[in-house]
Amino acid sequence: MRLKPLIVMMLFAALLATNACAPQPTVAQVLATNTPSSAIQSITDTATPMMQIDNFELIDVPLGEREPQAGQNLQITAFNFQRTGHAIDRITVEIRNLTEATQSGRAWYLLSPPGAGDPWSQAVYISPEQPVEALPAGETAVIIFDSPTLPLAGDYNLSAWAHQIDASSGESNHADGVIYPTSLFIGPPLFLEIDYVDLIPTDEGEQIVYVTFTIRNNTVDVLDIAYSYSISQPDDTTPWVTGAFTLPFQEMRLEPGAQRTLTLRNVIALPAGEFIVNGWLHQFVGDQLEFQSSFEFPQSIQIATAQDA
């Protein structure tokens, strides 16, 4: 049965009225921005998930054909790992004995900043080593590593390494190493980082404070979050309560895999002294706010006295 035009129009008007009354997400107001456009462009979107984040995806690192080097006894012949948008696990390295004699060695993986020329010299995390023991000629050993045990938050390159052990001297020497060429974000599902803090003194003895955040949602869910920052003395153990300034929580809705960079501007009367800036990120779970992550800006800020000025 077809609806008459008048009935259709009445139903459509009722639907519009229902949507208008439905609660809408509160979006944080960007008070001001002084973030350089080059700085925004330099933030890579590696936090965007390439898969369903609640389920690990197997990443097989392409190695191609690699000719053995002179004196090389062990070679990495396969390298894979499982990942979500914010974690890695079951890092698997396959090592083959290239010689006609039994060989031993050791293997590990490490995480380093993206583009590091010598990853081993700039490693942020090095996994516990695992032995390659008495591997027969031409045989392959499969070694499985667990996820990193240190708290991490950032973009990293993953690489696997193998050393061979001289049977007569017991000396350990480099055998092989392979690098996954794409940077990986490893950290909490919700991530906040303070990129810049700028202060401009006013003639009234106050400070115009600019704080620039990057916030990432590394899940497959739409999340309602709230962020804030506090300015406190370095020895303050509860800066969100007893600091010199704490911004009331600002609400925002983040789409899956979204990354936002925004700058807040506040005029604050800070006393003379040294202060640190901490960022806070919470998530709405029901009608409650639950803590997710925090970030301490690595550089302190100095407020001069009137005599110093």
Interatomic CA distance for residues 49 and 83, integer angstroms: 10
Q: What is the mean pLDDT of each run of 10 residues along the chain (309 residues)?
A: 42 41 34 30 28 66 90 96 88 96 96 89 95 95 94 90 93 94 87 93 93 89 94 94 94 91 94 95 92 92 71
Q: Whole-model pTM?
A: 0.60
Domain 57-186 in CATH: superfamily? Immunoglobulins (2.60.40.10)
The fold adopted by the segment(s) 25-44+189-303 is Immunoglobulin-like (2.60.40)
- Determine how β-strand 57-60 pairs with β-strand 74-83: antiparallel
pLDDT, residue 23, reads 35
**Of residues 88, 47, 55, 87, the one with CA closest to residue 192:** 47
**Of residues 207, 182, 149, the one with CA closest to residue 59:** 182
| First-residue to last-residue Cα distance in the chain | 82
Q: For 124-131, which contacts have Cβ atoms below 8 Å and span 24 or more sequence positions?
A: 124/152, 124/154, 124/156, 125/150, 125/152, 125/156, 127/91, 130/106, 131/104, 131/105, 131/106
Every domain of the chain with CATH number 2.60.40.10 lies at 25-44+189-303, 57-186
Interatomic CA distance for residues 248 and 266, integer angstroms: 11
pLDDT, residue 86, reads 82
pLDDT, residue 39, reads 29
